[in-house]
Amino acid sequence: MNSLFRIALLVLAMIAGTRSGTHDNSVFSSEIPIISQMYITQGTLYIPYAEIEEPFTAWVDLKAGRSRIDFYGGVAKTYQLGDRNDFGVIRKIVPMTDESLLNKITCFEVNGTSENQITAQSILPDMTGFKLVGEEVVNSIHCKKYQLIDTRGEKVNKYTYWVKTEPSTLDPLVEVGVPVKYEMRGFNSLLGSHYDHYYLIYEEFRAEQPTSEVFEVPETSAPCRDFPGPGANHHRTIATFNPMREFIHNVDDHITAGFDEFVQTHNKKYHEKEHMQRLNVFRHNHRFIESKNRQGLTFRLAINHLADRTSEELKVLRGKLYSKGYNGGKPFPKFSKEDVDDLPESIDWRLYGAVTPVKDQSVCGSCWSFGTVGALEGAYFLKTGQLVRLSQQALVDCSWGYGNNGCDGGEDFRSYQWVMKHGGIPSEDTYGPYLGIDGYCHIQNVTATAKITGYVNVTSNNADALKLAMRKHGPISVAIDASHKTFSFYANGVYYEPKCKNTEDGLDHAVLAVGYGTILGEEYWLVKNSWSTYWETTDTFSWLNVTITVESPHRPHTLPCSVKTPDLYTIYLGGWPDKLISSKLFLVEK
């Protein structure tokens, strides 16, 4: 469906030609409704597999060769201007933050070329090949139902278009079409499953010519410019400057190009059937990332090493379990207002050398061991002045007797009990490297490096207690809700997920809190994750980029959900209104 919509307002004209592949239905031109080439429409794009509901507003003038499509109420504005320059121009107006500007509304512009000419983007499908298959009520509207079945090898794509008809305002004797819904369902016979599904609901539609002013850059925007750095990339440009093209014309070259780049970057190797499966997973994750980035959030997402993984596979990375009842920890000591007043405005234990580099737990639900070890490494540093890599693998292999399940999940307090029982935890050098699997325990053959005498529960729902604990005892093991795709594909910025759970059993991932501070009036926690250096994508340290910590991929990074604590204030970490965080404080044996 690569050609533009070419149905005149008063004269019905079907353009001869068919798509590549075979069709099991033919063209019935007399049954195709007349729809204007100039219109304004508003609706929502739904992509169930990618968990996306994206509102849009479109101004389309196919006669003049120009269009504009806004997403999320105008947060992201895209322009496809085929009437500018020799080969057209595409523009995108979005908030941009750099070293000197915060959320400056900025116009980015890319010129078309002879190979990639810019044309207007219809928001309606080209109905070449569609057949009237019946009538149906959609959203309480009586519609004619048109369908095209397109077979390409093992893929069978079914396109369905629901249109209501009404008398033309120019000639009451002529019936014109008004779009109601457009849907695509893709089935892969080799995989035996649906690989794609999306649909558009048209909530408003007016057959009128948009004014010229609609296609001009608003005065509130900075002058149009090219991208900083290496500039535009063709397949990325399609996804960001004209995302609707993929869903109206079924153009997915940018998906396959992005997937090829992903495979090469991360050295992925698949057999033929798995390659198709992974491409489809990548497709939906890519759509999710691009859609979220159009929302103008306080953080950005990006393709990373997890982009070919399903939701079930991502769940494996979240191995923090939950046990009800007392966990054996000591209560947090009482503190005074003076203690809180003496707290520094910010702490970052990385700057003092108390935090080891970011590690990769691999395909193993051992996050609980990384939170545990990170806290012990920090406590050992505070006691000795030495930063030593301690062994997560020892906990994975050997703490089963205390209720941990190796790569199938565990809890930090069970790990501390094991460390206390066995006289400490060995270093990575003495025990051996992290393997990412359930290995053979050989603790009796190595010497313990770091010993503890106990652990203390930091008071829940109390930011001051956590700050005091962190100031005196170093990094703290904490639990968060990491079940959301926004967390899986986090790149930089202040991460806030309103859907974060607020119950103990909803906290499914263990991380390491290594600092806190305030940026632009908002308080935050600085957190180290264990999903490799590919998880966060920025490679410069800047406090001005999208509000919060953007740092070296070789150092701890990120912010999980946003926490709003009643009777206190808003802080950045977790989104739980009733409970701040599940955390522990560790005491190194003297």
Cα angle, residue 235 at apex, residues 230 and 241 outer, rounded to 5°:
85
Rounded Cα distance, 415 and 356, in Å: 19
Q: What is the CA radius of gyration of the chain?
A: 28
> Among the options 107, 143, 364, 367, which is catalytic?
367
Output the pLDDT for position 517. Answer: 85
Task: HSE, CB side, 13 Å, CA atoms: give it for residue 123.
Answer: 36
The tokens for 182 are: 């457009």
Choice among 193-197, 294-298, 388-392 with the minimum mean pLDDT: 193-197
Query: Is 60 exceeded by the pLDDT of residue 293?
Result: yes
**Mean pLDDT of the region 554-565:** 31
Output the pLDDT for position 97. Answer: 64
Residue 45: band (very low, low, confident or very high) from pLDDT cuts 50, 70, 90:
very high
Choice among 187-196, 320-329, 446-455, 580-589 with the minimum mean pLDDT: 580-589
Residue 239: band (very low, low, confident or very high) from pLDDT cuts 50, 70, 90:
low
Task: Report helix, strand or coil for 259.
Answer: helix
Output the pLDDT for position 331. Answer: 84
Residue 367 is a catalytic residue = yes
Residue 236: band (very low, low, confident or very high) from pLDDT cuts 50, 70, 90:
low
CATH of domain 313-588: 3.90.70.10
Q: Which residue has the higher pLDDT, 182 or 459?
A: 182
**Mean pLDDT of the region 200-228:** 87
pTM for the predicted model, two decimal places: 0.70
Q: What tens digit of pLDDT does each residue of 295-353 get?
A: 988 788 989 888 998 888 888 777 676 777 778 888 888 999 999 999 999 999 999 99
Task: HSE, CB side, 13 Å, CA atoms: give it for residue 95.
Answer: 18
Q: What residue segments make up the domains of the chain, in order of their start?
A: 22-296, 313-588
Q: Which residue has the higher pLDDT, 587 or 267?
A: 267
The tokens for 306 are: 């997890």
Residue 234 is a catalytic residue = no
Query: Contact at 8 Å (CB) between 121 and 215?
Result: no
Rounded Cα distance, 538 and 301, in Å: 11
In SS3 terms, 24-80 reads as: CCCCCHHHCCECCCEEEEEEEEEEHHHCEEEEEEEEEECCCCEEEEEEHHHCEEEEE
In SS3 terms, 506-569 reads as: HCCEEEEEEEEEEECCEEEEEEECCECCCCCCCCCCECCHHHCCECCCCCCCCCCEEEECCCCC
Q: What tens digit of pLDDT does each residue of 367-383 get?
A: 889 889 999 999 999 98
In SS3 terms, 300-311 reads as: EECCCCCCCCCH
Rounded Cα distance, 359 and 27, in Å: 58
> Among the options 509, 545, 557, 561, which is catalytic?
509
Rounded Cα distance, 209 and 22, in Å: 36
- Indicate the burial class of 482 (C-beta count within 10 angstroms; 0-12, 13-18, 19 or more): buried
Choice among 78-87, 303-312, 356-365, 368-377 with the minimum mean pLDDT: 356-365
Residue 319 CB contacts under 8 Å (≥ 6 apart), including other chains: 364, 365, 366, 367, 368, 405, 407, 408, 409, 410, 509, 510
Q: Give Cα 210 to chain centroid, integer Å.
A: 34
**Mean pLDDT of the region 351-372:** 86
Q: What tens digit of pLDDT does each residue of 402-442 get?
A: 888 888 888 888 999 999 999 999 999 999 998 888 888 99
Q: Which residue has the higher pLDDT, 547 or 325?
A: 325
Output the pLDDT for position 224. Answer: 86
Instruction: Tell me the backbone φ, ψ of residue 118, rounded to 5 degrees.
Output: -95, 130
* Count of CB atoms situated within 10 Å of the CB of 336: 8
Query: Is 50 exceeded by the pLDDT of residue 578?
Result: no
Q: Which residue has the higher pLDDT, 577 or 400?
A: 400
* Count of CB atoms situated within 10 Å of the CB of 561: 23
Amino acid identity of residue 119, one-letter, is T
Rounded Cα distance, 11 and 13, in Å: 6
Q: Find the farthest-apart pair of alpha carbons in the chain and give their distance in angstroms, rounded.
A: 94
Residue percentage of the chain with pLDDT more than 70: 79
Q: Strand pairing partners for 164?
A: 178
Output the pLDDT for position 120. Answer: 95
Rounded Cα distance, 71 and 19, in Å: 29
Which one, of 551, 419, 545, 400, lies nearest residue 477 by Cα?
Answer: 419
Q: Which residues of 514-544 are buried (b: 16+ CB within 10 A; e: fewer)?
A: bbbbebeebbbbbbbbbbbbbbbbbeeeeee
Output the pLDDT for position 147. Answer: 95
Residue 392 CB contacts under 8 Å (≥ 6 apart), including other chains: 359, 361, 366, 369, 370, 372, 373, 428, 434
**Mean pLDDT of the region 344-364:** 87
Mean pLDDT of the chain, nearest integer: 79
Output the pLDDT for position 228. Answer: 60
Output the pLDDT for position 195. Answer: 80
Query: Contact at 8 Å (CB) between 14 and 128?
Result: yes
Task: HSE, CB side, 13 Å, CA atoms: give it for residue 413.
Answer: 19
Query: Is 60 exceeded by the pLDDT of residue 545?
Result: no
Q: At what angle do helices 234-241 and 253-265 cross, to 10 degrees?
A: 130
> Among the options 405, 529, 557, 561, which is catalytic?
529
Query: Contact at 8 Å (CB) between 60 and 248?
Result: no
Rounded Cα distance, 290 and 20, in Å: 29
Task: Report helix, strand or coil for 99.
Answer: coil
Residue 293 is a catalytic residue = no
Query: Contact at 8 Å (CB) between 482 and 560?
Result: yes
Rounded Cα distance, 460 and 563, in Å: 12
Query: Is 80 exceeded by the pLDDT of residue 20?
Result: no
